[in-house]
Amino acid sequence: MKNYNESKILSFTELKGISQKTIENHYEKLYKGYVKKWQEIQDKLKSADKATANATFSDLRELKLEETFAADAIILHEAYFDVLGGDGKPSGEIIKAIEKDFGSYDNWLSDFKALGLCSRGWVFLTYDFNDGKLRNYTADLHNQGGVWGATPIIVLDVYEHAYFADFGTDRKSYIETYFLNLNWDVINKRYIKITK
Ligand code: FE
């Protein structure tokens, strides 16, 4: 974790259509809130009572459950901020892989956009280590919907906090705008780091 560049995120003053206020609230309040809670959970785990471990309810169980919620929130938000801030022009090695695994770039794009409308939380293009293929997945919660071994490369946050202040209920326009801001240099770096 902690795979992000804070100054880069806070320099998102010129994102197309997504306001600085939205990004600041998203980063400073929500993202940093997850980091704080993750740390609090780590501290509490040190003294959690293992003698009372129980699968219906126990302090240890609740801490371990919410640890995944906080950790996945951090990882997915870092990826979301990481891929923003570009000119939105698709390029690089990952396009060839997308064409191979989805038939065409447009096939992938229309699938990803449609998933943005049917998910309640996240959409991601992943690299699936199980068979070396790219796949789109959705998640309604930070710690639900992920597939073991499939690592997120392109991540879209479709929770209302990500777009409501700028787009109201028009999630479709937010998704279109998200694509105008994608940084394909970063996306290719993420892809190469994962696959090489
Ligand atoms: Fe979010």
CATH of the domain at 23: 1.10.287
- The DSSP code for 130 is T
Distance 162 CA to ligand 1 centre (A): 6
Q: What is the mean pLDDT of residues 51-71?
A: 98
**133-139, strands of its sheet edge to edge:** 133-139, 122-128, 150-157
Residues 69 and 100 in one domain: no
Distance 39 CA to ligand 1 centre (A): 19
Distance 110 CA to ligand 1 centre (A): 22
pLDDT grade for 14, boundaries at 50, 70 and 90 = confident
- Residue 165 domain-assigned (yes or no): yes
pLDDT single digits (tens) 67-98 = 999 999 999 999 999 999 999 999 999 999 99
Distance 172 CA to ligand 1 centre (A): 17
pLDDT of the residue at 2: 55
Q: What is the mean pLDDT of residues 102-123?
A: 98
pLDDT of the residue at 6: 67
Q: How many CA atoms lie within 13 Å of 106's alpha carbon, on the beta-carbon side?
A: 0
pLDDT grade for 13, boundaries at 50, 70 and 90 = low
Distance 82 CA to ligand 1 centre (A): 13
Residues 60 and 131 in one domain: no
pLDDT of the residue at 180: 98
Give the residue from 82, 101, 120 where a domain finishes: 82
Asked if the model's pLDDT at residue 4 lies above 80, the reply is no
Distance 150 CA to ligand 1 centre (A): 20
Which residues lie near ion ligand 1 (Cβ < 5 Å)? Answer: 157, 159
Q: Which residues of 130-153 are buried (b: 16+ CB within 10 A; e: fewer)?
A: eeeebbbbbbeebbebbeeebbbb
pLDDT of the residue at 5: 62
